[in-house]
Chains A and B, each alone.
Chain A
Amino acid sequence: MRVKSRMLFGLAVGFGLMTATSALAVEIEYWQYTFEGRVKAIDALIEQFQKANPDITVKHVDFPYADYPTKVAASITAGQGPDVVQLYYGWVDGWLAGNLIQPLPKDAFPHDQIEKNFFSIVKAMKRGDDYYGLPTAVRSLALFYNKKMFADAGLDPNKPPATLDELVDAALKTTKRDASGNLEQEGFGVDMTGQDHHWIREVLIRQFGGAPYSDDYKSVTYDSAAGDAAIQWYVDLQQKHKVGEAGFMDTAQAAFQAGRAAMEIDGTFRLSAFGKITDFEWGVTELPSKDGNQGNYASYWANAIASTTSGDELKAAEKFLAFVTTPDAMKLWLEYAGELPANPAIALTSENQADPKYGPFLKGLAYAHTTLFVEELAQRQTQIDMVNHVLLEGQSVADAVATAAKAEQEVLDKYYKK
């Protein structure tokens, strides 16, 4: 009997202590998808944060991108998801419709501070009078080129193409085929499933004098002569100039890494993977201009607070979100993940701008557009299909563009008319 009661007493004390400590300490969860540099960056930031806030524990959860949106939606809806969560800026409408995230409180995140401390593309996270998330880093596009192939083709490896015409010219010179005409080396890696669909919409269409969308991004406006001209130019790379083929080496970035594509357009996030290339030297430059017009597409992942988070967890989540968007966190992110700081003051230092790798991306940010997606995957699909209609089914460019514009408009309407 005595043993039993002693045990019970011990248990009671134990439980008492546990509840006492849990009243003091808060555990919050941070979710993102698995991407080596980003995972390491957050781990490092959590360590710093926990040192500064010993009463808060941050649990870092990461899992593959393929499951990411589904799992987040299912978990938050079931009331047991993350507290602070990363989302692609293009998902904000969907997540808002699903009540997955909550507005950032204005006292902790004053709007004038947000607008001062972040690139203007952060506006894509604003709906009505509220911001729904803040990025640590932003990404833009640039033209990667293989210096060895340039030199082999008699081109100056330190003078990458600056205009679209120069791009075609360099691509023609660096394309190699075998005796039967099979492609051995692409001059330009075309890949609609990569970043080309962003390049077409936000850069090429504008450079050809058109506009991809109305200013509020609620109407598709590229079904125009300028739109047709831009798509024609893109399709010509494969059909007329034959400097690249969709699907060659599976993806354009794989072709580039294998040293089988002389040029490729890709994002900041590719820097770390290409950094592992040892077979040849490569460079990166701003996207080519046309008639003096430059363009770029910027995007980012933002940190948001889940709708289910409240009380102490909410306070801790706010603290952590503020922490991962400080200038120091951004510097750390640049170092670990190779992504550009979301704060212009941190990003646009003369040191960064002169950096041969980050420089071109940073310059692109100055004139970049950010598409306000309502359903990124469905909208991307319309562009992939548009080019495939021309390449695989021999449809005229004008018809393919019209079909794509109609399909994308339907996606937009489905969302905005809800």
Chain B
Amino acid sequence: MTAAVEADGGVAAARRLWHRLTVHQKHVVWAWAFLAVPILFYVVIRFWPTANAFYLSLTDWNMLHKASFVGLKNYRRLVADPVFWKVFRNTFGYLIIGTPVSLLLAFLIAYQLEKVRFMHGLIRALYFLPFLTTAAAMAWVWRWFYQPLPIGFINDVLALVGLPQQPFLRSTTQALPSVLAAAIWAGLGFQVVIFMAGLRAIPTTYYEAARIDGVSNGAILTQITLPLLKPTIIFLVVFSSIGFLRIFDQVYNMTTNDPGGPLNATKPLVLMIYQTAFSSFDMAYATAQTVVLFLVLLVISLIQLRILRDR
């Protein structure tokens, strides 16, 4: 009985306190109440493990025995590891070729598609379809495309027009672009759709005014369309850069027999991390690589945001 009275008293006190708050304060309390759930979730699922990874990169943890602190040893090993630098170059290769090529292609397609009325929806859907497909399945299909004769589709076409076979995935120079082509193709649909949304958001009155003034198509593109697409471009640049820096599925599935090969020609940082962690069980070294990847992602994103920001 007494407990119930006390509880009632508590509730009553809380209610009085609530009524004393201004409307604005109430809004704030509600906002925090709702935000608390995702914040807590993020702290536990994201931030805490991230902080933990920073710590683990300074230890010799291998998942199996207790971690002991070793300072910057893993980072020194990383700097001295030729494979790491090869992989670092590959990762930037994916980024530096992948982002501009995919954006340019996506913009060209979206720009032209905007002008098409005939079967517009179907064509758009066809472009978007690869984005909905499982990366692994797609990678395997592309892997078969690149096979030598008699089963490789691309080499079949080359042979048909009298060109020599290409080694593609079996070459140290062609393998990375080959994997990248599949990755670009996979992400293209998404970028096209975002570009089209951006294009549609530009008020038609600008175009009408420009036409009345007799502005050329080229000038409309550079003076109206592209500047007004800037937010879309920023979003896509940052988004696709992060995507290419984190490339994994395509590489792993297209080179499963010799992951990241031949001779590490296609290996991105994420695959190196995966192998270090889950086939060598060298967890601490893998977390050091992860920290480097995190810093690279952070720096690249910040630079891009700064360069592309409206002044």
Contact = CB atoms under 8 A, between A and B. Distances in A.
Interface string A363-384: 0000000000001011001001
Contacts of B278: 69-70
Interface in B51-66: 62-65
B172 A393 contact: yes
Contacts of A180: 159, 164
Give the top 4 A-B pairs by smallest Cβ distance, nearest first: A98-B64, A193-B257, A247-B170, A70-B278
A377 B279 contact: yes
A392 B147 contact: no
Interface in B141-177: 143-144, 147-151, 159, 164-165, 167, 169-172
Residue picked from B62, B143, B165, B258, most chain A C-beta under 10 Å: B258
22 contacts: A73-B63, A97-B62, A98-B63, A98-B64, A178-B149, A180-B164, A182-B148, A184-B150, A192-B258, A245-B148, A246-B170, A247-B147, A247-B169, A248-B148, A249-B151, A260-B150, A377-B280, A378-B280, A384-B262, A385-B261, A388-B262, A392-B171
Interface of B: 62-65, 143-144, 147-151, 159, 164-165, 167, 169-172, 257-258, 261-263, 275, 278-281
Interface residues of A, number: 35
Contacts of B258: 192-193, 381, 384, 388
A251 interface: yes
Contacts of B149: 178, 182-184
Contact of B63 (A77, A245, A377, A392): A77
A296 to B, nearest CB: 23
Interface string A266-309: 00000000000000000000000000000000000000000000
Dominant secondary structure of chain B at its interface with chain A: loop
A385 to B, nearest CB: 6
A360 B266 CA distance: 39
Nearest to B277: A70
Contacts of A98: 62-65, 281
Contacts of A393: 172, 263
Contact of A378 (B143, B144, B150, B279): B279
Contacts of A385: 261, 263
Given A70-B278, A98-B281, A180-B159, A250 B147 contact: yes
Contacts of A251: 257
B236 to A, nearest CB: 33
B50 to A, nearest CB: 19
